[in-house]
A = this chain, B = another copy of it.
Amino acid sequence: MTDSPIQKLKDKSRKITNIQEASEILHWDQEVMMPEKGVEARQQQLSTLSGLSHQILVSDELKQILEKINPSKLDEGGKSSYREVKREHDRSSSIDQELIEEISSKSSQTLDKWKKARKEGKFEIVQEDLEELIELKREYANQINSEEEPYKVLFKDYEPYIEFENMQEVMEALRDELTDLFKKIKESGIRPENCFEKEASEERQLELNEDILDDLGYDWSRGRLDTSEHPFTVGNQHDARITTRFNTDDISKSILPTIHEFGHALYELGLPKEYYGLPAGSSRDLSIHESQSRLWENHVARSKEFWNHFTPKLQEIEAFENISVEQAWKSINRVKEENLIRVEADEVSYHLHIYLRYSLERKLINGEIEVEELPEKWDDKTEELFGLSPENDVEGVLQDIHWYQGSIGYFTTYSLGSVLSAQIYNALEDDIENLDEKINNGEFTELREWLKENIHSKGSLYKTEDLVKQATGENLNPDHFLDYIEDKYRNIYNL
């Protein structure tokens, strides 16, 4: 008996997933375990694997399988397999193999130059490579769809199922409201101290982070906690691993990343096991993933209720024995009015950082500004949005890796993640009785279960906007985030 076309399609999907999951473990190993000189062979292994999954995706064999399928006759799982595999097949097939290789090689060159440029604080070092990379990305967008705004095409790489216009509206609403809020906070004259800047050993921090993960309900039989330069999560429903880092000067800088990554891992672990390898068993795109990490980081771990529960545990560390809930809560939420670094930003200014990058990268890829103008434009925008100016390019245009590795159109997914996390949290607060009190008591079971039922277990069965609508009853809507943020900050800063 031969397999039906949809079975064959699912087989291909599983193969592609298995190759990608293998690559993820190789990446994890590279960041966490690999001896330093392993990098050269590892790059070759990863490049072979990515070539193989690409080959399956653009193969004539897959094309013919897709042509034989009538999606209207499929069940829900079949439909999602067809939709996602076809989308990726169509997109990948429209790009010349040569261009893919050029982008890959130019990206890694540009990345190397960026590292050098950051070290020496000179944008000029990377400028020419970045120009060539942007040119290649324009051509990439052009090959996919020459009729559409290039930036819009690139955005779809990260968010195929969020309307570009919705994203725009969200970004503009955030800019308008948060510029204003940020200004008011600065003018309030209130400056909560940071009570987390006290020494704790790495061993003690590790213990604390493990306690937190126990508390939140991390399944250690399907995960592990390690350290790496930048915290990240890899995995799937069978094995989702977290990394964090320890900061002996400020313990919140290891607590928050751990909880953030927990949110990512919990999403992966909540995907249906029986659909491993298929879209129905795979996470939705970046914004939804980020909504899960930020829900735990911001809505849980930055709430007063969480600190009611957690402060006594922190007090067990000698340096923190006199910390109060109020101090901790204000510290973790304080606005850093002089900060120019995105990854260290608070919840208010964070989205101004994103807006800055979004507005510049959009003009850049659409040809409205040139690479050489970037440092100046960056500084202008910083002045406009924050009323501050960077001291140098390391604090400015060189601070983030994204552009220099060819990721254009990625940044907005961070803000969309925050917006979605607030929208989802708002919906689940309606469903879970006395959630605040449960968090006060360190009871997270119902929260985890709601997320699993309404988000995690759906995998990629539905398009992003449909998933959001099913879970929250409405379309992508920035109001919940803006209400949440204004409410919190009005309270802290007496606005």
A224 to B, closest residue via Cβ: B35
Q: Mark A218-243, 1 if CB is under 8 A from B, else 0.
A: 01111110000000000011110100
B239–A48 touching, CB < 8 Å: no
A37–B238 touching, CB < 8 Å: yes
B236–A41 touching, CB < 8 Å: yes
B14–A48 touching, CB < 8 Å: yes
A41–B224 touching, CB < 8 Å: no
B19–A49 touching, CB < 8 Å: yes
Is A34 an interface residue, CB under 8 A from the partner?
Answer: yes
Compute how far the CA of A37 lies from the CA of B273 in the bound complex, rounded to whole angstroms: 11
Is A22 an interface residue, CB under 8 A from the partner?
Answer: yes
Partner of A45 from the list B18, B38, B47, B224 (CB cut-off 8 Å) is: B18
Residues of B close to A35: CB separation below 8 A: 220-224, 239, 241
Is A44 an interface residue, CB under 8 A from the partner?
Answer: yes
Residues of B close to A44: CB separation below 8 A: 14, 18, 276-277
B221–A37 touching, CB < 8 Å: yes
A34–B239 touching, CB < 8 Å: yes
Q: Mark A185-227, 1 if CB is under 8 A from B, else 0.
A: 0000000000000000000000000000000000111111000
Is A495 an interface residue, CB under 8 A from the partner?
Answer: no
Residues of B close to A318: CB separation below 8 A: none
Which of A25-33, A170-178, A286-294, A388-396 lies at the binding interface? A25-33
Q: Mark A47-89, 1 if CB is under 8 A from B, else 0.
A: 1110110000000000000000000000000000000000000
A32 CB to closest chain B CB, in angstroms? 9
Compute how far the CA of A301 lies from the CA of B51 in the bound complex, rounded to whole angstroms: 45
A289 CB to closest chain B CB, in angstroms? 19
Taking chain A's interface residues, is the majority helix, strand, or loop, or is none over half, making it mixed? helix
A36–B236 touching, CB < 8 Å: no
Compute how far the CA of A39 lies from the CA of B241 in the bound complex, rounded to whole angstroms: 14
Compute how far the CA of A145 lies from the CA of B34 in the bound complex, rounded to whole angstroms: 42
Residues of B close to A219: CB separation below 8 A: 37
Compute how far the CA of A36 lies from the CA of B38 in the bound complex, rounded to whole angstroms: 26
Residues of B close to A25: CB separation below 8 A: 25-26, 29, 45
A41 CB to closest chain B CB, in angstroms? 4
Is A40 an interface residue, CB under 8 A from the partner?
Answer: yes
Residues of B close to A337: CB separation below 8 A: none
Is A466 an interface residue, CB under 8 A from the partner?
Answer: no
A13 CB to closest chain B CB, in angstroms? 11
Is A377 an interface residue, CB under 8 A from the partner?
Answer: no
Compute how far the CA of A241 lies from the CA of B41 in the bound complex, rounded to whole angstroms: 14
A474 CB to closest chain B CB, in angstroms? 35
Q: Mark A276-301, 1 if CB is under 8 A from B, else 0.
A: 11000000000000000000000000
A238–B14 touching, CB < 8 Å: no
Is A448 an interface residue, CB under 8 A from the partner?
Answer: no
17 residue pairs of the A-B complex, CB under 8 angstroms, read: A15-B52, A18-B47, A18-B48, A19-B45, A21-B45, A22-B45, A22-B48, A25-B25, A29-B29, A35-B220, A35-B221, A35-B222, A38-B238, A40-B238, A41-B239, A42-B239, A52-B52
Extra contacts, 18 of them, besides A21-B45, A22-B22, A42-B238 (Cβ < 8 A), are A15-B51, A18-B44, A19-B49, A22-B26, A22-B45, A25-B29, A29-B29, A35-B220, A35-B222, A35-B224, A37-B219, A37-B239, A38-B222, A38-B238, A40-B238, A40-B273, A41-B276, A52-B52
Interfacial residues, chain A to chain B (CB-CB below 8 A): 14-15, 18-19, 21-23, 25-26, 29, 33-42, 44-45, 47-49, 51-52, 219-224, 236-239, 241, 273, 276-277
What 5 A-B pairs have minimum CB-CB distances, sorted nearest first?
A38-B239, A18-B48, A41-B238, A18-B45, A37-B222
